[in-house]
Structure 1
Amino acid sequence: MGRKRGFDETTVLDVVRDRFWTTGFVGTSTYDLMDATGLGKGSIYKAFGNKHDLYMRVFSDYCQGIVAQAREELRESPHQVLTSPMARLEHYVVSLADAFATESPRRGYFLTKATADRAGEDDMVAGTARRAFEDLADALASAIRDAQDAAFIYRTQSLPRSVPS
């Protein structure tokens, strides 16, 4: 039977994500990750693989999280506090602006930073980013269609049901 991990995986992944988010993939060494997490190199590699594997894990988790959050905040549901599609759209966009304006230090949007930093040379980052941007566009388009259907937004032409590849 294997030894139980002496660390909380979620906490470690949050710390690692924040480190990559702040200093980028190239700007973050394995030693930086060791220092930030308090884990040894062997523990990091055994638990998460190499630096690229770890980067992809936190980047993929982040992308899945922001897409799920966007879908939750933008979709109509019986549990939704904001019942107007226009109010949901406005709240979502303003909450993003507020989050990035009040963030200290200002790091920007991890999805955008990772895309600019790595997508040109890393097909895995490019594919993950592309899917996230497409999924976010689909969530926004659906919310806009809902607002059009409710006559909050004038419909000049129909939005596509999905983002073309």
Structure 2
Amino acid sequence: MKRVSEAVDSSDRSPREAPVSPPELLAAPGFLARRLYQAYMSAWARNVDSTMTGPQFAVLTAIARFAGTDQGSLAVTVALDRSTMADVVRRLEERGLVMRTTDTNDGRRKLLYLTPAGSETYNDVYARARDLDEKLLAGRTPVERQILMAELTTLAELWENIAPLS
């Protein structure tokens, strides 16, 4: 690690030249994950939907796949804690995209379904999200894409085990 006395003199750069990320940050996986996340969020807002968040889309995807499943179980499938899941579902319900019903066998369980507007919205956003995926993975062969996705999945699982969701 560089000490302050070892820092690079900024007067060596032209006034318009931005400094590059320090190697200490480029060697930190969390820094790179944050950069990826920031770039992805910006790309999502410009290319997919500026009003629907990634977690909202993940919840719509899970409901589309597992209609009638309880809210708590779906939270696990989209890597959200229970309180965040409840907030996301409430917002989607307020927008008329999701319907919650009480399980007739267990009044504590809330079962989730897409409304017709939710299905339409999901299909529209899904198509744009897949287009963004293509842009993000452009230039990679199918095998390279598969390897990258497997590595990202492994990292996500490892990091989730370090700081599990509550």
> Structure 1 length normalisation: TM-score?
0.30
Q: Per chain length, whose mean CA-contact separation is higher, i.e. which structure has more relative contact order (CA < 8 Å, sep 6+)?
A: 1
Greater fraction strand: 2
Q: Which has the larger radius of gyration?
A: 2
Greater fraction helix: 1
